[in-house]
Each structure stands twice: as structure tokens, then as C-alpha cells.
Amino acid sequence: VQLVESGGGSVQAGGSLRLSCEVSGITEGTNCIGWFRQAPGKEREGVAAIMILGATTYYADSVKGRFTISRDNGKNTLYLQMNSLKPEDTARYFCALKTTSSGTWFDARAYNFWGQGTQVTVS
């Protein structure tokens, strides 16, 4: 499985960005795919996730109403639309995939495949 993120960059507060994650080699056992972020000196935190079956979505409280996770199955691509960005959203954003039903959507330890990340800077 390979996950490749793109779409990061620098933006002013209040602006928008859309992150993309191209997924290849996905297996039938995939349970959930999501976005995490990590700022310097902080732990990696779950931002949003989407279940493969049923497409239920989950969001961290800090991004609800501002971020939207979606997927295009035909393109094997996951998206994160980020609006009304704040300086505290500054972090490296990672796409991740887990193939088991164990663990919560926001627990990074439950995910077994990761992309290399893309930097988002909000000033």
C-alpha cells in the first residue's frame, strides 16, 4: 500500500487549502482511512477519517464545521478540504490507512500504513 499526499502550502488565516492523498495497493481488508497532523513538539493527532464501508465520517472537535473529508473511489484519492484556517492548524498533515477494526479512528497506533506528509502553514 502506498499513500502520497499533496496540496499543502502556506496560507493566511481564514484561507483554504485542499489536501489530496492518492492511495495505491489498497486491499479488501481496509477498514478506515484518515488524516492526521503533527505540529513540532506535539503528538500526532487525528483530524478526520472516513470508513471504507458505509462512508461514515469522523472529525476532531477542533476542525468540525471547517474541514471536510471525502474520497473519490474512481481515482483512489482521499481529500481534506480545509476552510477558515487558523494558525493553530499549522502542522504536517499525514494520510493514513488501517486494515483492522480494532482501535478508534483517532488513534494513530491503529493505523498501519502512512504517507510521507505534506506541510500546512497558516499565518
User: Quick check: 78 pLDDT over 80?
Assistant: yes
53 band by pLDDT with thresholds 50, 70 and 90: confident
At residue 95, the pLDDT reads 97
Using alpha carbons, select from 61, 101, 57, 112 the residue that is nearest to residue 80: 57
d(CA 28, CA 38): 28
User: Quick check: 64 pLDDT over 80?
Assistant: yes
Better-predicted residue by pLDDT, 52 or 34: 34
Q: Tell me the per-residue pLDDT of 2-34, one tens digit each, with 9 for 90 and over.
A: 999 999 999 999 999 999 999 998 767 778 999
Instruction: Tell me what the mean pLDDT of segment 87-105 comes to.
Output: 94
| Helix (H/G/I), strand (E/B), else coil: 31 | coil
Residues 69/90, Cβ–Cβ less than 8 Å: no
What is the separation of C-alpha 9 from the centre of its chain, rounded to a whole number of angstroms?
15
d(CA 121, CA 12): 8
Residues 21/117, Cβ–Cβ less than 8 Å: no
At residue 100, the pLDDT reads 86
Angle at 89 between CA 87 and CA 94, to 5 degrees: 145
Q: Tell me the per-residue pLDDT of 103-113, one tens digit each, with 9 for 90 and over.
A: 899 999 999 99
